[in-house]
Structure formats: C-alpha cells, structure tokens
Structure 1
Amino acid sequence: MTPADKGKFCTVCQKNVIDFTMASDREIANAIRNNKNLCGRFSSSQLERDLVVPKEKSTVWTAVAAGVLSFVTLGSYKATAQEKQKVVQTENKPVKETNSTASKQNTTIKITVKDSTGLLQEAIVRNVTKKIQTSENKNGVYEIDVSLNDEINIAYKGHVMQSLIITNKNDLLVVLEDIGPIIAVGMVEVKTKPKE
C-alpha cells in the first residue's frame, strides 16, 4: 500500500484505506455516512459492536438555563464581611544542603532497547525532564545525558512505550512489549436500528 491523504491506497481494491484505529465512534459514523463504499483499518476492540454516537446537546438551552440559574443563586446569596487576617511571625532558619547537588549532576548512560525478536534500531529514546532525544550508535545502543530522578521515555512503532525514572547511573536494558495484531478489514456494512 502506498501513502495517501488520510491513510494508505490499496492497489488491489483501488481504494483509500482509512486508519480508524484511533477514531471515535462519532468520527467513524460520519465517515460511513459520507462515503458508503470505503475501506478501513480498525483495532480489534472496534469490531463486532454497535457504534455509540450520543446526540449533541443544544447550546442555546444550556446557556439560557445557566443564565436563569445564576440570577436565582446570586439573588439569594447573603453578603458577609471578611474577617481580618491574623499575622503570625515565624523564625527564619537556614536550610541545610542535602544531596540535591549530587542528583543534579549529569552523566551519560547507555540504553539497549530490545523486544522478543532482538535489538530494536530507530527507537525513540527521550529524556522528558531535560527535553532531549537521542538516536542509536552504530552498535544499536542509545547514549543519553541523565540526572537522578529524570524521566526517560522509550518508544518504538508497534510496541508499548515504557517510561522510566532514573534512580542510579547504571546502563539499562529495556525490553519493549509488542502491542499485538492490528486488524485491517475491507468493506463496512451499515445497519440501522428501527426506531422504537
């Protein structure tokens, strides 16, 4: 399949395949309503169930109800004076320095990213705390600057992203879990329920 505007183009059925894996029921229903003959890619949780599209509420009646309610509540509120704030004198003491300077020291660690099949190249390794990202070296190992308590995110397409908090300055081996199969289907059948 070749890339297209809203998904990929299938050369076998000569149609655009739209990726609905992250779409809401409302978005799926609108797409079906606008194009009865379409192909789509769905996650397994979106199959074999009815689409639930809640009715949109009228904003005019909501605004009118809020206005009436605010006048009723403001009219029945009794105003009272504020009490004078008490001033309390406290003693200033110098704060002892802790290991905060040690935790802020940068060091470079090596992170090896794998899954059940082996090393993963082109993964995204990002230090969220420092807002930096790195790519792997020629051996497939990622090197990144960290301090203690930094948050590191490791992501790779088709795998569950892992978030880690750096608790020591040792090198890491991260094994990512495969998301699992994503099901792609062709035709979409539209069924309407009879009104009761």
Structure 2
Amino acid sequence: MKLTIPTPCHENWEEMAPAERGRFCSVCVKTVQDFTALPDEHLMETLSHSTENVCGRFTTSQLNRDLQFSYINTLLAKFAVGFILTAGGFTAVKAQQCEPKKDSRPEETKGNVQSVVVKIPLNT
C-alpha cells in the first residue's frame, strides 16, 4: 500500500478545533485524523477498514513509499497460530504396534524320513 495525496489541504493544523479522533476542519467540514504517530501496520489497518474517504495528517516519511505490513500481527493470523498450537496438543498420537515376528523359515528335518500309512479299522 502506498499513500499519496494528490491535492493536499493547506489549512493550518493548529487552528483546527480539537475533536475525538484528531481535529475538526471548519473549511472542509471534516474531522482530520492524526496519523503521524502511528506505525505502518496500524495506519494500513485503519485506512483499509474505513468505509469512506479519510482526511488525515501524515508525516512526509509516511507518504509516497510502500508501507510495510507484518502479516503475523493481524488478528486472524494470531488466532490461526494459537488454534494450530492448541489443537496440536490435543490430537491423539497413534503409534504403530509391533507384532511379534513369525518365523517363516521351513523346519529342517534331519535324518531319514519315511512315510507311514496307518490303517484304522472301522467298527461296523
């Protein structure tokens, strides 16, 4: 965001009547907000949430340059980080359970093996 004032007001700030958010300009019939002490983040937040044109007092260092905005300082970002950290602590940790290994080697037979056929008599 870059602040520019194509047609600046030439009224004297000190001659304006004090108002709630700055000073009241009787020539423009508007409240002029004092943004000179605000950091870039607060300035951008105030201007972006305004529904109408804003009349304000700025320092020359605030004008005609890109304003720096730290996204981590936004309320939504703070909420998201807090939620992720909190939710991460409540998730169940599922580890793999080890099953005992079955020996898959065939049994070795030692010695001579003979097949034996056993006949079982049927009682009738």
TM-score under structure 1 normalisation?
A: 0.30
Relative to total residues, which structure has the larger helix share, 1 or 2? 2
Relative to total residues, which structure has the larger strand share, 1 or 2? 1
Larger radius of gyration: 2
TM-score under structure 2 normalisation?
A: 0.46
